[in-house]
Amino acid sequence: MRLGVVSVGMPEEVLFKTERRMNRSDVAAYLRTVAEKLESGDSITLSAGDQSVTLDPPAQPTFEVKAEHETPSSGGPGELSIEFELEWDEDGAGGSETDASLEIQ
């Protein structure tokens, strides 16, 4: 899951990044914590090692969900991913919207 401030047409500055293999229940626990913070309106602090960042998503951020299949140019097995991203402008405004409603089953 990526949480961050992203603006179209501007260079991206990575404020925090961590990646590691985890079991599904541990991933679910992290996602539940983020969901609880969003629901309560609290800020979200991400920390790992010497990295730490606190973000305060607005009441209506843009929520992007993306499923991808990446095929390596060298052949071999590809990689599947699901990405969940919250986006908002630094002034707290949400981003673009689409009319399609999201369903996750």
Q: Is residue 94 part of a domain?
A: no
Q: Is residue 98 part of a domain?
A: no
The burial class, CB within 10 Å (0-12 / 13-18 / 19+), for 85 is middle
Which residue segment(s) compose the domain that 54 sits in? Answer: 2-87
Q: Is residue 93 part of a domain?
A: no
Domain count, the chain: 1
Q: Is residue 19 part of a domain?
A: yes
pLDDT-derived band at 102, boundaries 50, 70, 90: confident
Q: In this structure, what are the phi and psi dihedrals at residue 40, rounded to the nearest 5 degrees?
A: -85, -10
Q: Is residue 105 part of a domain?
A: no
Least confident among 3-17, 28-42, 53-67: 3-17
pLDDT of residue 30: 96
Is pLDDT at 4 greater than 60 in this prediction?
no
Q: Is residue 104 part of a domain?
A: no
Question: Distance (Å, rounded) from C-alpha 69 to C-alpha 19?
Answer: 18
Q: Is residue 100 part of a domain?
A: no
Q: What is the mean pLDDT of the chain?
A: 88
pLDDT of residue 95: 60
Q: What are the tens digits of pLDDT across the range 64-97?
A: 999 999 998 888 899 999 999 999 999 876 566 6
